[in-house]
Amino acid sequence: MIVAKNLSKRFGRIFAVNNVNFCINKGEVVCLLGPNGAGKTTLMRLLTGYLEADEGNCTVFGHDVKTDRTSALQKIGYVPENCPLYPEMTVYEFIKFAADLWKIPYREFVNNFKELAAYLHLTEVVNQRIETLSKGFKRRVGIAGALIHRPKILILDEPTEGLDPNQKLEIRNLIREYGKTGIVIISTHIMEEVEAISTRVLLLNKGKLIRDTLPRELKKISIDNDMASAFRKITSEEF
Partner 1 sequence: MNKQFASVYFKEFKSYFRTQTAYFIMAVYMIISMIGTFYSGYFFFLNNSDFVSFFSFQPQILAILIPAVTMRLWADERKSGTLEYILTQPVNYAILVLGKYCAAVSFCLILLTFTFPLWIYTNFLTTVDNMNVFSGYMGCFLTAAAFCAFGCVISAFCSNAVIAYLIAVLVSWGFMATNFNFIISFVAEVSRLPMSGEGQSFNYMAHFQNFISGQIGIDNIIYFAGLIALTLWFNVFVIEYKRS
Partner 2 sequence: MKNNKFYVLILFMAMLLLSFVCLNLGSSLFWGNNKADFTSDGRYTLSEASEEIIQDIKEPIFIKIYMSSSLSEEYPQYADYARFVLRFLNKYQKASAGKISLEIKNPEPYSAIEKEAQAAGIKPILDGNGQINLYFGAEISNDAGDKYTIPNFVSERRSSLEKDISRIIYRINNPQRQKIGLVYENLPITDKSYGTRKTSDWAFVKLLSNNYNLVEMSSRTPQIPLDINVLVIVNPQKPSDVFTYALDQFVLRGGSILMFLDPYSEKEGQLKGTANISEPEIDTLLQNWGISYGKNRLAGDVDLSEMTLIGDKNTQLKNYYLWMNISKDFLNKDNPITEGLSKLSLKTAGILTPIPYEDVEITPLITTSPKGGSVEAHIAKFSDKTNVLTLYNQDNVQHTLALQVTGKFSSVFNNNILENTPYAEKMLPYIAFSAHPSTIVVVADTDMLADENWADTEQSENNEYYGIVPQNDNGNFILRAVDYLTGNKTLLKLYDKKSLVSENGIGEHIYGKIFARYAQEYNQTQQDLTTTEKQLDLLSRNIEAVGQGVSMKALEYQEKLRQEVNQKQNKIKELDYKIKKEQEENINKIILMNTIVFPLLLILAILLFRLFFSRIQQRKISELVNER
By CB under 8 A, name the one of 102, 119, 135, 163 that touches partner 1.
102
85 part of the interface to partner 1, by CB under 8 A: yes
Write down the least CB distance from residue 96 to partner 2, Å.
9
The answer to whether the CB of 126 falls within 8 A of the CB of 92 is yes
Strands across the sheet containing 2-11: 14-24, 2-11, 55-60, 63-64
Burial group, residue 231, by CB count within 10 angstroms (0-12, 13-18, 19+) = buried
- If the CB atoms of residues 58 and 117 are measured against partner 2, the closer one turns out to be 117
54 part of the interface to partner 2, by CB under 8 A: yes
Please choose, out of 95-103, 114-122, 176-184, 200-208, the segment that lies near partner 1 by the rule CB under 8 A: 95-103
What CA–CA distances, in Å, run from 179 to 27, 29, 78? 5, 5, 14
Pairwise CA distance, residues 35 & 235, whole Å: 8
Q: Which of residues 151-180 bind partner 2 (CB under 8 A)?
A: none
Residue 230 interacts, among partner 1, partner 2, none and using kind-specific CB cut-offs from 5 to 8 Å, with: none
27 part of the interface to partner 1, by CB under 8 A: no
Pairwise CA distance, residues 226 & 181, whole Å: 29
Question: How many residues of this chain interact with partner 2, rule: CB under 8 A?
Answer: 12
86 part of the interface to partner 1, by CB under 8 A: yes
Query: Helix, strand, or coil here: 223?
Result: coil
Residue 98 interacts, among partner 1, partner 2, none and using kind-specific CB cut-offs from 5 to 8 Å, with: partner 1
- Which residue from 61, 87, 84 is spatially nearest to 72, judged by alpha carbons? 61
108 part of the interface to partner 2, by CB under 8 A: no
Residues at the contact surface with partner 2, assessed by CB under 8 A: 10, 12, 54, 90, 92, 110, 113-114, 117, 123, 126-127
